[in-house]
Structure 1
Amino acid sequence: MPTRSRTVRLPNKKVIQSIDVDSRGEQLAIGQERLTLMSLVTQNVTHTLDVGTGENVLWARWSPDGSKVAFTDTRQRASVYHLATKSTRDIPLEDPDIQWLDYARASDRVLIGGQRLHVWDDAKQRLIWELEPAQELLEVPLVGCLSPDGETVAVVGSERGVVLLYKVGGKRPTHRLETAPDSGRWLGFDPTMRYVACLESHAHGLFVWDLKTRKRHLPDTFNDELTVFWSVRFAPSGKQIAMGTLGGAVWVQSLKDGALLYNEKEHKRRVWDIAFTPDGSELFSGGDDHTLRYRSWS
């Protein structure tokens, strides 16, 4: 059973828009008006990076080896921060509307979403795949995700009403997942590659598909009637899905049967992001109330 949540003290009181835990469960990346990296062992801040006056980090995600963090900010660029050198390098992409980012969990590949969807190989320092949506959908930023090995891409927003799966380098989709929203705020594979989930861009529904059947999973549970969620993450086991709500609650549901395992209002306002430790023993959440909280699972 989960324990009562606790608060992590941060050096500043600003909106928390992004949270990510590294693959060893030792470091936390927090996106606010700056990028803050914290040791989970000591709960001390180890690195900070200002992104510019009046700017904010939108998404921040760890590389598989924990040596760097890729992030997007409100200047609509994508960058990589290297811990060893404390230096930042912008990813050279020609896209005026970058707003989304995902990092493969076992490959040095970064997915970046804007008017196009890009896959950047950070080890080789080159763009290896790109997707442009239909002309009538250019006003909606593309959102996508990478499989853990970085070889498969899922994308929402490139075609109305479907999530499309591609092999990196491929020109045609390998799978079409129907009855999807036209655009998304979040899209992700579960770590076991059994499911993919999509949160509609304006919180008008949470949808899950079973990749074995290519059908919607538990459609009576996960559907467009769920209009309260603003953030989503799969548990590392692939057995649960966690959500943060517009009203400040944290939910966890079973993917086997949709059973509600946890539902507590732990923030005063919207929960912008949510993240598990790699062993699934702790779940972090943060948002509009400037508070970072976590709860342990026994």
Structure 2
Amino acid sequence: MKLAGLKSVENAHDESIWAAAWVPATDERPALLLTGSLDETVRMWRPDELAPVGSPCKGHALGVVSVAAHPSGAVAASSSIDGFIRVFDVDSYASIATLEASPSEVWSMQFDPKGTILAVAGGGGSTVKLWDTSTWQLVASFPVPRPDGAPPDKTGSSKFVLSVAWSPDGKRLACGSIDGTIAVFDVARAKFLHHLEGHNMPVRSMVFSPVDPRVLFTASDDTNIHMYDAEGKSLVGAMSGHSSWVLSVDASPDGTAIATGSSDRTVKLWDLSTRSAVQTMKNHSDQVWGVAFRPPGGSGVRVGRLASVSEDRSISLYDYS
């Protein structure tokens, strides 16, 4: 497995780019790359030449920190420090709904595999909130409990929820917090199951394996990437190689690799059979806030794609093979 640099776009946004996600292909168009920036806008990009699609999508009052795409490829969402989530039509940018996440901000969100629920990590609200995508009504709010034996926290900072991830079967939801713990929920029963421990600093990004609903990968400020058995509550392995915070992680569609982005300005590709970094890309001049593999599907797609976005306002695109 390897990455090959395909294209980079400098000054893709007017300010730092903190979020990236792929909008799945439809019968009418290929997959598109969705990016969100502190310039308060969302942009979409074509998957090969990184040409912008239309004008920047505006509507937030503060920086965009998370973007997510519905599995149908027709709808996407963006969240901002302003406490609101904008849901919009991908092809027209037309607004579908505005969800109020206050009294706290939203730092991460993800649609479930069937596209029926949008899960939102509630920041200082210490909750994960679920919205029904047919009505855009709030249908559940899961409070994130403190770990057993954890010391009292008068500030509440250790409850701050930063990241969220769905298992590929849609049965489990995991969320990572600023204290380094990960909470796992049974969604159908709206029940907290257990904590996963091992990190000692904020868990900023998580992704389940696309081929094994038990396996969860997590990225942390402690410079490590962890691989958990989310059902058995066990730490299966730890991968290290970044020299600073690991800000983002994503899994390849074939389940054989993960990619990570770090504040050490690099993107790393990891072989899961050896649990080691096999390649380091140095396209960016500042910290890498997001990495995202293109999902499978679409006509004429022969190779994989990985995208990375950075504080330096650039986007890089790589062939993955």
Deviation (angstroms), 1:175: 4.4
The equivalent residue for 1:28 is 33
The equivalent residue for 1:4 is 5
The equivalent residue for 1:170 is 189
The equivalent residue for 2:267 is 250
For structure 1, the 5+ residue unaligned runs are: none
Q: Distance in 1 between matches of 2:13 and 2:259?
A: 26
Q: Distance in 1 between matches of 2:34 and 2:186?
A: 29
- SS of 1:174's equivalent in the other structure is strand
The equivalent residue for 1:295 is 318
Judge conservation of contact 1:107–1:148 (CA < 8 Å) in 2.
no
**What's the % identity of the aligned pairs?**
16
Q: Distance in 2 between matches of 1:59 and 1:238?
A: 24
The structure-2 alpha-carbon separation of the partners of 1:243 and 1:108, relative to structure 1 and needing over 3 Å to count, comes to same
Task: Map Cα deviations across residues 2-58 of structure 1 (whole Å, 9 max, x no partner).
Answer: 3234214665443211111122252111111210122326644334311346x2210
The equivalent residue for 1:189 is 208
Deviation (angstroms), 1:228: 3.8
Q: Distance in 2 between matches of 1:76 and 1:130?
A: 16
How many pairs are equivalent? 293
Letter in 1 for 2:144: P
The equivalent residue for 2:117 is 109
The equivalent residue for 1:100 is 108
For structure 2, the 5+ residue unaligned runs are: 147-152, 297-302
Letter in 1 for 2:309: G
Deviation (angstroms), 1:183: 4.1
Deviation (angstroms), 1:73: 0.8
Deviation (angstroms), 1:295: 1.3
The equivalent residue for 2:137 is 126
Deviation (angstroms), 1:274: 0.7
Pairs within 5 Å for 1:1-298: 1-8=2-9, 12-24=13-25, 26-32=31-37, 33=39, 34-40=41-47, 43-47=50-54, 48-52=56-60, 55-84=62-91, 86-88=93-95, 89-114=97-122, 115=125, 116-134=127-145, 136=153, 138-139=156-157, 140-142=159-161, 143-157=163-177, 162-181=181-200, 183-192=202-211, 193-200=213-220, 202-211=221-230, 213-219=232-238, 221-222=239-240, 227-279=244-296, 281-298=304-321
Q: Distance in 1 between matches of 2:246 and 2:104?
A: 28
Task: Map Cα deviations across residues 79-113 of structure 1 (whole Å, 9 max, x no partner).
Answer: 21123553222124453232221222332321111
Q: Distance in 1 between matches of 2:67 and 2:3?
A: 26
Q: Distance in 2 between matches of 1:166 and 1:239?
A: 26
Deviation (angstroms), 1:253: 0.6
Judge conservation of contact 1:17–1:286 (CA < 8 Å) in 2.
yes
The structure-2 alpha-carbon separation of the partners of 1:52 and 1:297, relative to structure 1 and needing over 3 Å to count, comes to closer
- SS of 2:3's equivalent in the other structure is coil
Q: Distance in 2 between matches of 1:63 and 1:105?
A: 8
> Which deviates the most, 133-142 or 43-52?
133-142
Q: Give the TM-score normalised by structure 2.
A: 0.80
Q: Distance in 2 between matches of 1:212 and 1:169?
A: 15
Task: Map Cα deviations across residues 136-174 of structure 1 (whole Å, 9 max, x no partner).
Answer: 47434213222234332112339x664232121434333
The structure-2 alpha-carbon separation of the partners of 1:157 and 1:208, relative to structure 1 and needing over 3 Å to count, comes to same
Judge conservation of contact 1:2–1:296 (CA < 8 Å) in 2.
yes
Deviation (angstroms), 1:283: 0.9
The structure-2 alpha-carbon separation of the partners of 1:11 and 1:292, relative to structure 1 and needing over 3 Å to count, comes to closer
Deviation (angstroms), 1:249: 1.1
Judge conservation of contact 2:210–2:253 (CA < 8 Å) in 1.
yes
The structure-2 alpha-carbon separation of the partners of 1:178 and 1:13, relative to structure 1 and needing over 3 Å to count, comes to closer
Q: Give the TM-score normalised by structure 1.
A: 0.86
